[in-house]
Amino acid sequence: MKKRLPPLNWLRAFEASARHLNFTQAAAELSLTQAAISQQVKGLESQLGTNLFKRLPRGLELTEAGQAYMPVIHDSIERLAAATDELFGQGRRRPITVRANLVFFTTWLAPRLGRFRAAHPEVGLHFTSNIWLDERSKEASMEIRYGKGNWAGLRSVQLTHDELFPVCSPRLLSGELPPASPGELSADSMLHVIGYEEGWGYWLNKTGFQHVDASQGMQFDTLITALEMAVRGHGMALGRTSLVAEMLADGRLIAPFSQRVPASEAFHLSCPSHMQLSPHGETFWSWLVEESTRAGDNEHALMSQIQH
């Protein structure tokens, strides 16, 4: 059965009148006449079949029904106002939704977003992680994803140009120093990430250490968890330049070996081929592409310093 709700203007008139216990003050708040407020409250009482106020010579008093109804209406109006302001307030357009790879957002994008927000305070941003695969993902204006960039139905631009190399804490949890050569790697010291084509086996084969056993070690479903375990000394993760540059710079991680392998997979910014981005979407897209170029130059310089 369809539930019949009172008109919103009746509920607003009741809520304001209940707060002020005065029709005249409620009218002033809502920019209406006292007669209009009184009429709307009467309409609400008529629909509900009960009086909400006692009309007294010197003002109003809530009836028991009014006292019970007031908190519910007040909370509903406050929540509706808050949601409206969050999504559409201050004259802003609807925020652009960016579906982002979690490790890229945490290690690369988050430290840089302050610059974008300072330069473009008018652009609203809504981020969602791509670990949540549900229908809401279809609403994203653009997505940052990892792979080779050849996705059907999408246009994309490459944001990173990474090298792969092992990283670990300066001192392992056991108190030992990291091995001096990839040939000294133990199988249980490798931190594996499921779903990456270019994992430990790939790196060992490319660097000539295919004889090293890569079949053991802890496994994770996200790279961010593997990197966190590496920072905490639990083993060695296979790092990607764009994701570990900051952790190498501040000493949380080190790269103990000189061997590096160019990655064929990368992080890409993408959106549906048929989609026309909003002006704010175009602003964020352009900024992200420019930022990736600047970051690539900085990362190259950092890796050169580390290597020498």
**Which domain CATH number covers 284?**
3.40.190.10
**CA separation, residue 48 to residues 10, 17, 76, 205, 289 (Å):** 11, 17, 18, 76, 58
Indicate the pLDDT class of residue 58, thresholds 50, 70 and 90.
confident
More confident residue, 22 or 302: 22
Residues 174, 32, single domain; the answer is: no
Indicate the pLDDT class of residue 130, thresholds 50, 70 and 90.
low
The answer to whether residue 2 sits within a structural domain is no
CATH classification at residue 25:
1.10.10.10
**CA separation, residue 209 to residues 202, 215, 226, 285 (Å):** 10, 14, 22, 40
Last residue within a domain, chosen from 73, 91, 109: 91
Residues in the chain: 308
The answer to whether residue 35 sits within a structural domain is yes
Phi, psi of 301 (to 5 degrees): -65, -40
Indicate the pLDDT class of residue 129, thresholds 50, 70 and 90.
confident
The answer to whether residue 3 sits within a structural domain is no
Residues 21, 72, single domain; the answer is: yes
Residues 147, 285, single domain; the answer is: yes
Residues 258, 270, single domain; the answer is: no
Q: 219-271: per-residue pLDDT in tens?
A: 998 899 999 999 999 999 999 999 999 899 999 999 999 999 999 989 999 99
Please state, for a pLDDT cut of 90, what percent of the chain lies above it: 59
Indicate the pLDDT class of residue 284, thresholds 50, 70 and 90.
very high
pLDDT at residue 101 is higher than 80: yes
The answer to whether residue 31 sits within a structural domain is yes
Domain span holding position 65: 8-91
The answer to whether residue 1 sits within a structural domain is no
Q: 176-203: per-residue pLDDT in tens?
A: 888 889 998 887 889 999 878 889 999 9
pLDDT at residue 3 is higher than 70: no
Residues 151, 292, single domain; the answer is: yes
Residues 247, 281, single domain; the answer is: no
Residues 68, 142, single domain; the answer is: no
Total of domains in the chain: 3
Which range among 21-25, 137-141, 193-197, 262-266 shows the weakest confidence by mean pLDDT? 137-141
The answer to whether residue 276 sits within a structural domain is yes
pLDDT at residue 109 is higher than 80: yes
Residues 38, 55, single domain; the answer is: yes
Tell me the average pLDDT across 84-107: 77
Residues 38, 109, single domain; the answer is: no
Q: What is the dihedral of CA 101, 107, 109, 113, to 10 degrees?
A: 140
Indicate the pLDDT class of residue 306, thresholds 50, 70 and 90.
low
- pTM of the predicted structure, to 2 decimals: 0.65
Residues 248, 272, single domain; the answer is: no
pLDDT at residue 17 is higher than 70: yes
More confident residue, 306 or 308: 306
Indicate the pLDDT class of residue 137, thresholds 50, 70 and 90.
very low
Residues 174, 258, single domain; the answer is: yes
pLDDT at residue 134 is higher than 90: no
Please state, rounded to an integer, the average pLDDT across all residues of the chain: 87
Which pair of tokens denotes residue 231?
Answer: 């920072």
What does the pLDDT read at residue 84?
74
The answer to whether residue 21 sits within a structural domain is yes
Residues 62, 19, single domain; the answer is: yes
